[in-house]
Each structure stands twice: as structure tokens, then as C-alpha cells.
Homo-oligomer: A and B are copies of this chain.
Amino acid sequence: MSSASAALRRQFPILTPGLAYLDSAASAQMPVPVLDAVRTFETSQRANVKRGVHRLAEAATEAYAQARGRVAAYLSVPADEIVFTGGTTASINLVAHAFGSLLKPGDEIVLSGLEHHANLVPWQMLAARGGITLRFLPITGDGRIDLSALPATLGPRTKLVTLAHVSNVTGAIVDTAPVVAAAKAVGARVLLDGAQRVPHGPVDIGALGIDFYAFSGHKLFAPHGVGVLWAKAELLDAMPPFMGGGEMIARVELSGSTWAKGPAKFEAGTPPIGAAVGMGAACDWLSGLPWAAIAAEESRLTQRLLDGLQATPGVRILGPSGLQGRAPVVSFDLAGAHPHDVCQIMDSKGVALRGGHHCAQPLHGRFDLAGSTRASLALYSDDSDVDRFFEGLAEARRVLL
């Protein structure tokens, strides 16, 4: 472990020496700068935002606006294209309702067979509501979206292609260029579910040529209960609001109302202010980190996991076997052992993993499994975590097999 990564790790008070936290894809931990930013907000700036002119209200409004700017900077997009939501799920439901209400029966939406339920169920509900047809890109044997099926799956009726930027099970990173080209060719919009992408470094969203991007704060080293929807300004203009209430209106009368412009139209009610401030602090902190070094370290540790698992009898890895186009999320099946039993025994060795379907039942069905065991890394992961992982795995095999 380099001293740089040791210094990073010390910023996370929850990461005590006995703990190998390999569940960052579920929720990443919070570093001191984020903890402090939230505490500072709550103890010296707390108030409701926007309408107030008193000092705390001004400070809170300023902190909230600054958070929006910091998130926007992390994504290289204008701040007035950032909508704060409750999380990835809320962001995608927002699009399914707001963009979905612009679609007509017979229109088609293209997804893949590896989507998280958050990027599947809202579209199933829209399909039922609006007579929309869902079409699915198949999944390859190594857990990637099969892009060779793009021409056969997209067509003139396709209005939206919505895919995981990174799979939360297989770690596969989708190759966005052919997706965007295929969507553009038929006039479809593209949404990427970036929940598992953003914790691994800044994303230049503008350069991707997409239309929507969604992710959660709690996987980005920030509090639970805040998320982001980025959408092109023209789409924020074109879409009707999703939820109604305070802050999202221009004028309200009993007989009807008109809407605010920009992100405000989609931020009904008091937003998750402290959590958004935490997310801004996280993005600010992340923006200053040495990402080339962190990515190299995450890759090196991922390789160790892949190598060790491949050498373990009865283990089948769900996902690419190499590092190419792959994020540090490693799921596997251990023949004859149930994921929850594996996780439970490894927990007794201080290793925090996740077992189950990881909110991706169709993908597990594709692999003929009910669930899998997942180890997921973050910028604070180190060799001691991987060492403990293999000690725990040996123990699980000894007990269960």
C-alpha cells in the first residue's frame, strides 16, 4: 500500500483496522471533509433555501447553490442542468414520468438485460401506463451488454436507450460511442445510469453525447437521500414536471399553476439540503484527487481479486475476466455455497461483502443463478482488504463445502 492511499484511507473514520469494507458499490463510506461539511451546514448554516432573506437562509441558499456548482464541475456540465433528487432511483423515475409523458403508444425504449431494477421497473411501469414497448439488448457470457445487437434492437420507434454506464454486478463498463451513434441514427435519446461509474473519477458528460445521466450521493461518498439527474437544458425545458409543490412553480392559483424554469421545475418541495451540501463537498474533494494513481490502484487490486478467484476451485466470475472496460466490482458464484452463507462467514473475518441478486434479478436469471457474492472496491481499498478477502473465502469454503 502506497503512503498516498494510506493517507486517503485515514480520511474515513469508519474504516477501522479490523474491517475490510468491500461493499462500496452498495454504499461508499464518507470522508472527514464530507462529514464536516454536513455538520457545518447543520450547526451554522441550517435553514430552508431560496425564499428567505435572513442570514441563515442566505447561507443555506448559498451552500445549496455551491453544491450544485461543485457537482456540475465534477461532471463538466453547466450547473443549471443539475437537478437534485433523492437518488438514482428517483432520478430515473423522474425521467420515466416527465420524458415518458411525451411518448406515444407504440414508441419503444431500449434497455439491457443487466440493468439494476432502478433502471428497469420504472420503464415497466411506464410501459404499462403508456403503451410503450420495451426492448432488451442481450448480455454476453462475460456479463457485458451485447452491442452487436444494437442494429436489430433499435429502430424508428426507439425514443430512448437507457443503460447502466457500469454494471453493479459484472463491473462491465459500457462502450458509449456505438450506443450514442446508434441512438442518434434513429433520433433516440440516451440515458446512462451512472450510479457505479461516478465513484471512480470525474466524468466528462458533455463529451459522451448523451441526454440524461443519473446517480446517487451515497455511492459517491456523500449522505444517503440525495441524487442527481443531469439532463440537457433543452430537455429540462421540454419536459413537464414530475412532482408538484413548492419551489417548482412560477405562479399558483386555485384554478391552475405555471412552472418554474430550469432544474427548479423538477425540485418540488424542500430539497435534501444537508445531503446535497455533502454531495457537493464530496465532488469538490474528489475533484482534487490524483485519479490516474487511484485508477491504477483500483485496477491492481481488482486484478488480485480476479486472479485469486480464478485460482479457487468452484468459483465462477460473473463478468469480464480481464481489466479491459471493467470497474472494480467483482461478483462470483461459489458452487455449492449460498452467497449469504459466504458473506456471513466472511463477515466473521471482518470482510464486508454483499450477497444476493443485487437488484438485478434478470441478469442472475441469465446466468441461471438466484444470486451471487460481490466484492466492490473504492478509492480507500488496499491490499489488506484483498488479503482478508482471501482469508475469509478460504474459511467459507472450509465451513460450507
Which residues of A approach B to under 8 Å, CB–CB? 13-14, 19, 21, 23, 26-27, 29-30, 35, 38-39, 42-44, 46-48, 51-57, 86-90, 92-93, 96, 113, 116-118, 120-122, 124-125, 134, 136, 216, 218, 223-226, 241, 243-249, 251-254, 256-257, 268-276, 340, 343-344, 346-347, 351-356, 358-359, 361-362, 365
Contact = CB atoms under 8 A, between A and B. Distances in A.
Contacts of A218: 48, 270, 273
B39 A243 contact: no
B225 A54 contact: no
A253 B274 CA distance: 36
B89 A86 contact: no
Contact of A256 (B88, B124, B245): B124
Given A86-B272, A89-B245, A44 B14 contact: yes
A269 B168 CA distance: 14
22 contacts: A21-B56, A27-B48, A35-B43, A42-B223, A51-B356, A52-B343, A52-B352, A52-B354, A55-B347, A86-B90, A89-B244, A89-B246, A89-B270, A92-B245, A93-B243, A117-B244, A117-B245, A120-B244, A120-B257, A136-B254, A253-B365, A272-B272
A27 B256 contact: no
Contacts of A55: 347, 352
